[in-house]
Structure 1
Amino acid sequence: MLGSSLASPLATLGPAKCFRHSAGDSVTCTSVLPLSLNLSYHGVAGGVRRSRGPRNKWIVVCSPTQVETSGDEPKTWEECKEALSRFDFSVEEQDKILGKAFGHIHSPYWTEERVKENPKVEALNHVLEFLRSLGLSDEDLHKVLKKFPEVLGCSLEEEMKPNIGILENQWGITGKSLRSLLLRNPKVLGYNVDCKGDCIAQCTRCWVRF
């Protein structure tokens, strides 16, 4: 009975604190035990457990995105963040936008279909250029990306361009009316199904919401 009443040492670990060293790619993670414990087990010495991540990994540790990439991908991720910086997003917001758009952060918009991938700055710039061609200013794009960051992960050729064609040709929505619609409901850019009232459980991407 005494053994069952004792709390597991692992359960008493405090929150992990992680640091990325600017001099290299390594990450040091530290979990601090309460001062009342003086334990040494499985690499825990003096109440502190330390672990060092592999040097071939680049990890955004304390960011909400919890993004992990390797090889040359950190540079690509930073290039994409740089492309978003002109829209007055904070570094944390840039990570969050990219994370939601490319599957690094769970988004109800994608349901379970989004496969995690690392963005390419060329493709991202093509999407931004297309959105600007619709009459959206940088201030407008800030609002669109904040409301619907997943747009950066939508297909330009298979979703966005055809959807704009539907809005213009079938609904007669162009110019200022189109801009107002996109600011109000930017998710229309990513609609790719139409259940016509017979639900197929893809409501976040269905034209029935329009």
Structure 2
Amino acid sequence: MLGNSLASSPLATLGLAKCFHHSAGEFATYTNVLPLGLNSSHHGLTGGVGTSRNKWIVVCSTTQVETSSEDPKTWEECKEALSCFDFSVEEKDKILGKAFGHIHSPYWTEERAKESPKVETLNQILEFLRSLGLSDEDLHKVVKKFPEVLGCSLEEEMKPNIGILENQWGITGKSLRNLLLRNPKVLGFNVDCKGDCAAQCTRCWVRF
């Protein structure tokens, strides 16, 4: 009796390596996702069956990240883009979660809305950082210390900030690399209160 009841339970499918997402009459296969409809006490499991149309929970050993993406495959593609930096699956989920508002980060204060990451934008940011002389080993350190960098604006924050460091402070080349390794948050500064506090200290040039 017990065996039959377990077999018919949705939880019996949690050991599967794949899950199925139904949307608009079509079926697609994904991995490493858990539907919101299941009891959250099972967050330590590594796989599940997705039935929710709009919300998914990306699952790893101890990390649970709620996403609002229609297609959880996008999240997996972004995790794949981080593969060359030797992060664990759990670390990748935490990095993306903090960068795009799915895990609370004091860095964003209250302004960061949940966003679905785009692998194209992610790759553009990584290539820009490489162009500054950072190796993949350096990028591992930068992203681990400051995961929110992947959620910063390349055109409105990173490039202008590098311009300030190079043109106003004369920091280039090896000195710039060393600065970014020591204080990567400078890439996301977007406030200069000039002593008149704007209560956004985590993103203010006063911390430089």
TM-score category of the 2 structures, normalised to the smaller one: 0.7 to 0.9
How far residue 61 of structure 1 moved from its aligned partner, in angstroms, is: 4.5
Equivalent position of 2:20 in the other structure:
24
Contact 2:20–2:51 (8 Å) recurs in 1: no
* CA pair 53-140 structure 1, distance change in 2 beyond 3 A: closer
- The aligned amino acid for 1:185 is N
CA–CA distance in structure 1, aligned partners of residues 14 and 176 of structure 2: 45
Give deviations 1:123-143, integer Å, cap 9, x for gaps.
Answer: 000000000000000000000
Size of the alignment, in residue pairs?
173
Say whether 1:139 aligns with 2:149. no
Contact 2:161–2:187 (8 Å) recurs in 1: yes
Contact 1:65–1:105 (8 Å) recurs in 2: no
Equivalent position of 2:196 in the other structure:
198
Give deviations 1:141-198, integer Å, cap 9, x for gaps.
Answer: 0000000000000000000000000000000000000000000000000000111111
> 3-state SS of the aligned residue for 2:175?
helix
Say whether 1:54 aligns with 2:43. no
Structure 2: gaps of 5 or more residues: 1-12, 22-33, 43-48
- The aligned amino acid for 1:129 is E
How far residue 30 of structure 1 moved from its aligned partner, in angstroms, is: 7.6
CA–CA distance in structure 2, aligned partners of residues 75 and 23 of structure 1: 12
Q: CA RMSD in A?
A: 2.2
Say whether 1:162 aligns with 2:172. no
Structure 1: gaps of 5 or more residues: 1-17, 33-51
User: Radius of gyration: which is bigger?
Assistant: 1
* CA pair 59-19 structure 1, distance change in 2 beyond 3 A: farther
How far residue 23 of structure 1 moved from its aligned partner, in angstroms, is: 4.0
> 3-state SS of the aligned residue for 1:66?
strand
How far residue 53 of structure 1 moved from its aligned partner, in angstroms, is: 6.8
Say whether 1:111 aligns with 2:121. no
Contact 2:190–2:204 (8 Å) recurs in 1: yes
